[in-house]
Structure 1
Amino acid sequence: MPEFDAKRTRSDFLARIWRAVSKEPVLAILVVALVVLQIAHPRPLVSLPGLVDWQTVLTLAGLLILTKAIELSGFLMWAAHRLVHHIHGERTLALLLVALAAGLSTVLTNDVALFAVVPLALSLNKLAPLPIKRLVIVIALSVNAGSILTPLGNPQNLFLWQTGGVGFGAFVWAMLPLCAALMALLGIVTFAMFQAKPLDLSGDVEAHRVDRVLCGVSVLAFAAFVALADAHHAGPALAVLALVFLSWHREVVFEIDWLLLLIFVLMFIVLRSAAALPSIHAGIAQIGIDTPTRAYAAGALLSQAISNVPAAIVLAEFSKDWRALAFGVSVGGFGFAIGSLANLIAVRLSGEKGMWKPFHLVSIPFWIVAMVVGWALV
């Protein structure tokens, strides 16, 4: 009987773990893929951590802590509400939110920018009726376009920045032409999608308090952490950050998206394991991505199937042209919603039914034009 109870306990424990994992489709797919890979081409378990680019993961963890601190300080909501009270039309509001989302995404990552701007758009929709579906769509496109500019904008940039061994300023300078061109294109699209309709926001009288100490410390720490990560000292910098916030504002550490870090670790393990398979290696090698245009096209197209972060991880095994890959996976964030996790987050945050069709009616044509623009610039 004790042996039976032990087996039952283990079975119940594994069942609970699987129920938790299955609620996150991306995580579930990665876990299943890892199991299949280990069965088909087993690797020693102790070798799996060696597949992870820990410098990238540690940098991402530090940025998640700092962006959460800035978010919890209340500064983003205070600044956003101050801004929108200076506008008087629907089109102006849309252009402002697109610019705000793009600007935030350059330093706070595209996901964090969405969590700041989409809820703001939803709250404004309660004060004055807005075409919220269209608004969420252009906000999603804007964080993908804006985040192209810096290594901090999205995980694939962060990964390529770390593996490419290029300085922060050099990375920004290289990505500036593509970011500027796509933001100009998005500005035209936004202008055409919204009318110059009067907007009444007089009902927004809610006060938004800011923890100035938390905000100020977080901003200074942000600059210091980026400098240390650029010098490849993300590990010690993260340790200091974690200790400071655990002893001061522990909710900052507890509330970050730990699942995102786990997914990122599993992506490295699964995709690098898959890329090492002889059949996969031979297939990509046969295509040949040894020129900038081919690396660019591979990134833009593969992202449509497996999202731009995993596409960057896979293709980095076959090309060292970080700029061409960054251009490709950046453009790959448009098109199908799966192209970028930010698209999925935006649609989910909107809470609107029937979002997929209008999203793709805008995002796919935008991706096609962006492909041409990126091809000309790469």
Structure 2
Amino acid sequence: MAANVQSIKSMMKNESLLIIAAVLALVSMFFASSDVVYSEHVDLKVIVLLFCLMACVAGLNESGVFQSLFSKLTAKTVSVRKLSLMLILVCFFSSMVITNDITLITFVPLTMMFLKCIGSRRVIFIIVMETIAANLGSIVTPMGNPHNIFLYSYYDMSLETFLSTIIPFAVFSFILIVITVLLLKDYKIDASITYTDKRPDKLKTAKYVILFIISILAVINVIDYVVCLLLVLIVLLLTDRSVFRKVDYSLLLTFVFFFIFSANIGSIEEINHYIVQTIEGRELATSILLSQVISNVPTAVMLAPFTSNGIGLLVGTNLGGLGTPIASLASLISYRLYTTLRRNEKIDYLKTFFVLNISFLLILIVFATIIM
């Protein structure tokens, strides 16, 4: 009995966003218009593309290719400033391709293992900066994070429109990250310490790289997403069924529940009118603020049906990933990974997290106000 209670508590803690989304969807059904057709509001394309991308990245992770690249990049680094910059920029650029969540799940444990070996005094700073870098790097591509995939599809954006909007923020963020790291006091580290390098499985790597490219082509509408799904399913079923267990199904379900919730709210004329009036012309500020409370992924899904300003929502939800630990699911991942191993450093971690995140957020809000 006690074990079951503990298991339920653990599930509620780990899947709190999913539970909230499910409750909101269920409760809102009682107030929604009777003519709501949920199949028209659940964006199947987004769900399918998220599944395909997560499966491909999980397969690449299992192949060992990320670990191998990581060790090679950091093998000859002899200064703590140079090492910090290398680790942080690995997360910045990786997140553009493999998403911010997967980047941190992959590289934060490797970073902690590596820094434990060399006795770095700046572990918290580096982990927090890796988190910021992953969140800001992921804004660059439509497949960099879940809300980008959703907004890119929902507003039927062209790749040119997407990139022309986001690139200035990405370049400015990169400069901010580099300057922040260069302000660190530098000292030498023991270059004789080596990191164990394990050769990646070349066949598995090639297989998932090809599937990943196909998934990207589906994201940018070069090939049909159904074809992409069929190819991914066939390859997994025939060669690597274990990858099915690595997919984050709770995230997919969270999307479904928020689609339903948004449809229900949108069907209530009074609420629909109020939300439209409230966020009209304030998409940037509204999405940043709401992201601090419910995170940027559900913010994008909830607000999209009520505004035609996809650009404002795109920028707002991406900048809104900074701030509180809740603002981005990726930030919670880093926090959990770090505090699981260092439980007595939770307060120190959160202090550093808030100082750096709020500083970056405020600077980027000013930048957004100037260029938009």
In the alignment, the residues of structure 2 paired with residue 304 and residue 280 of structure 1 have an alpha-carbon distance, to the nearest angstrom, of: 22
Compare 254-263 and 111-120 and name the one that shifted more: 254-263
Query: By how many angstroms is 1:302 displaced?
Result: 2.0
Out of 94, 107, 118, the position equivalent to 2:108 is: 118
How much has 1:205 moved relative to structure 2? 4.4
Distance in 2, Cα, partners of 1:364 & 1:88: 31
- Count the aligned residue pairs: 360
TM superposition score normalised by structure 2 = 0.90
Letter in 1 for 2:93: G
Matched, 1:35 2:23: no
Contact 1:242 1:253 in 2 (8 A): no
Q: Give the corresponding residue for 2:89.
A: 99
Distance in 2 of aligned mates of 1:129 and 1:374: 39
Secondary structure, in 3 states, of the residue corresponding to 1:337? coil
Q: Is the 8 A contact 1:331 1:367 kept in 2?
A: yes
Matches within 5 A, 1:192-207: 192=183, 194-207=184-197
Q: Look up the SS of the partner of 1:325 in the other structure.
A: helix
Per mean C-alpha deviation after superposition, the further-off stretch among 296-305 and 164-173 is: 164-173
Q: State the match for 1:297 in structure 2.
A: 285
In structure 1, the partner of 2:366 is: 372
Q: Which residue pairs with 2:351 in the alignment?
A: 357
Report the Cα offset of residue 94 of structure 1: 1.4
Structure number with greater CO (CA < 8 Å, separation at least 6) is 2
Alignment of 1:289-328 (within 5 A): 289=280, 291=281, 294-328=282-316
Deviation, 1:372, is 0.8
Give runs of ≥4 in structure 1 deviating > 4 Å.
14-21
Deviates more, 1:303-312 or 1:51-60: 303-312
CA distance in 2, matches of 1:201, 1:30: 49
Letter in 2 for 1:318: F
Alignment CA distance shift 1:366-1:229 (3 Å): closer
| 1:293-334 deviation per Cα after TM superposition (whole angstroms, max 9, x unaligned) | x22222222212221111111221122222221111111111
Task: Say whether the 8 Å CA contact 2:276–2:307 is kept in structure 1.
Answer: no
Cα pair 1:49 1:269 within 8 Å, conserved: no
Corresponding residue to 1:216 among 201, 206, 222: 206
Q: Residue 264 of structure 1: which of 251, 255, 269 is its match?
A: 255
> What is residue 8 of structure 1 aligned with on the other side?
none
> Which position in structure 1 is the counterpart of 2:150?
159
Q: How far apart are the structure 1 equivalents of 2:192 and 2:316?
A: 44
- Name the structure 2 match of 1:9: none
Match for 2:285: what amino acid?
A
Q: 1:32: how far off?
A: 2.1
Residue type of the partner of 2:310? Answer: W
Secondary structure of the 1:166 match is coil
Please, which of 64, 72, 91 is the counterpart of residue 82 of structure 1?
Answer: 72
Give the one of 59, 71, 89 matched to 2:61: 71
What is the TM-score with the length of structure 1 in the denominator?
0.88
Measured after TM superposition, the shift of residue 149 of structure 1 is 0.5
Name 2:336's counterpart in structure 1: 348
| Equivalent pair of 1:331/1:374 in contact (CA under 8 Å) | no
- Number of the residue aligned with 1:3: none
Q: Which amino acid aligns with 2:94?
A: L
Distance 1:344 1:275, change over 3 A: farther
C-alpha distance 349-249 of structure 1, shift in aligned 2 (>3 A): same
Mapping 1:132-147, distance limit 5 Å: 132-147=123-138
Report the counterpart of residue 4 of structure 1 in structure 2: none
Shift, 1:342, TM fit: 0.9
* Helix, strand or coil at the partner of 2:265: helix
| Structure 1 residue corresponding to 2:44, chosen from 30, 49, 54 | 54
Residue 121 (structure 1) shift:
0.9
Note closer, same or farther for the CA distance 1:43–1:362 as it changes in structure 2 (3 Å cut). farther
Q: Tell me how far apart the structure 2 counterparts of residues 252 and 288 of structure 1 sit (CA, whole Å).
A: 41
Distance 1:187 1:271 in 2: 39
> Which amino acid in structure 2 is aligned with residue 82 of structure 1?
K
Give the letter aligned to residue 109 of structure 1: T
Percent of aligned pairs with the same amino acid = 28
Distance 1:205 1:91 in 2: 18
Return the offset for 1:358: 2.1
Rounded to whole Å, the distance in 1 between the matches of 2:267 and 2:185 is 52
Q: Aligned partner of 2:307: which letter? A: S
- Structure 1 residue 120: Cα displacement: 1.4
1:184 is aligned with what amino acid? I
SS in 2 for 1:127: helix
Partner of 2:260, secondary structure, is: helix
Contact in 1 for aligned 2:100/2:138 (Cα 8 Å): yes
Deviation at 1:275, TM superposition (A): 4.2
Query: How far did residue 369 of structure 1 move?
Result: 1.1
Relative to structure 1, the CA distance from residue 82 to residue 17 in structure 2 (aligned partners, 3 Å threshold; closer, same or farther) is closer
2:230 to 219, 234, 239: 239
Q: Distance in 2 between matches of 1:211 and 1:145?
A: 30
Q: Distance in 1 between matches of 2:250 and 2:293?
A: 22
